[in-house]
Amino acid sequence: MKAFLILEDGHVFTGRSIGSTREAVSEIVFNTSMTGYLEVLTDPSYAGQAVVMTYPLIGNYGICYEDMESERPWVDGFIVRELSRMPSNFRCEDTIQNFLEKNDIPGICGIDTRALTKILRESGTMNGMITTNENYDMDEVMKKLKAYSTGDEVSKVTCREKSVLPGAGYKVALLDLGAKRNIARSLNERGCEVTIYPSFTTAEEIIASNPDGIMLSNGPGDPKACAQVIKEIRKLYETDIPIFAICLGHQLMALATGADTFKLKYGHRGGNHPVKDMETGRVYISSQNHGYAVNPESLDPKVAVPAFTNVNDGTNEGLKYVGKNIFTVQYHPEACPGPQDSSYLFDRFLKMMEEKKNA
């Protein structure tokens, strides 16, 4: 069946339908990872977005449900050059086509994803529609595309009630803003007892549980849409509890302490982004998924200083908070998919909790 991808700037790509045949309007973004498409599909940070995979062949190792980063996929649509319909891998449990159909996710294959990515790089991220309607009305489509915005996606993807991963070590409170499973798993593997809290949890409840440390997770959307969460994070900042924040959590902590964020032209999404430790000069290859960044010029140097920077474009990739047991990063040390270069940051967090407990 024919399918069409219609962009806000008027570009139309014609290909074949994959997955659901329902119509979908969303923000169109691209991911440069060569593997890990299932983790991309199930990363809550992609809520409200349709993902273009720049690697040309997707689906060749099928679906392994153990690799899912949440209970369900969150992308609004999936866009690929070529879809492998006959996967081959000893862990394979399903095909990507069946997975998309079962989860009602529309997609399109057989289009020039290189040309599409170039448009998004040059013009910036924009809204788009995936449709199988060959008789679409361009004027009506444009109205829908102009009217679409992602809004508050965090409230959609967060857990509904708290849960606990038992452990004999430090007690960590994880605020779920759209957390990937591997964040809690990375802490739990280091012996931590991890209590996962919904995003609407008050700071008072978290503080009352007397955690050894607090983790602020990744998540979707514009950080400025999370006004209430920002207020609660400010209260957490005022305590002396060690805090480690990733991605959206990093942005929200910055906003909670008076800094500003801005939307990137086309974002950073993929498993091959170089970040530089500004203290040691060492460069790490990182997994990233974000469309917003902290403006380093808005930082009060008495509150926070840049700790990591993006080698490609110089944007901020992490902050160290002055006089506080708090550090935050824009990228994903838990990876999945992506390199494990930055997993040591979890060990740094454990060391912070140890030093606080022994102080």
Residues in binding site for L-glutamine: 45, 219, 221, 248, 251, 289, 291-292
247 given a catalytic annotation: yes
Given 192, 247, 250, 290, the catalytic residue: 247
Q: Which helix (H) or strand (E) holds 152?
A: none
Given 109, 290, 334, 336, the catalytic residue: 334
CA 236, CA 115: separation in Å to the nearest integer?
45
- In degrees, rounded to 5, the angle at the alpha carbon of residue 327 between the alpha carbons of residues 322 and 328 is 130
CA 43, CA 84: separation in Å to the nearest integer?
21
**Distance, CA of 159 to chain centre:** 16
**What backbone torsions phi and psi does residue 353 show, to the nearest 5 degrees?**
-65, -40
Given 27, 69, 332, 336, the catalytic residue: 332
CA 251, CA 261: separation in Å to the nearest integer?
7
**Where is the binding site, in residues?**
45, 219, 221, 248, 251, 289, 291-292
Question: Whole-angstrom distance between the N-terminal and C-terminal Cα of the chain?
Answer: 65
The answer to whether residues 82 and 58 touch, using CB atoms and an 8 Å cutoff, is: yes
User: What is the residue type of 178?
Assistant: G
Sign of CA dihedral 326, 332, 336, 341: negative
332 given a catalytic annotation: yes
334 given a catalytic annotation: yes
Q: List, by residue number, the catalytic residues.
A: 247, 332, 334
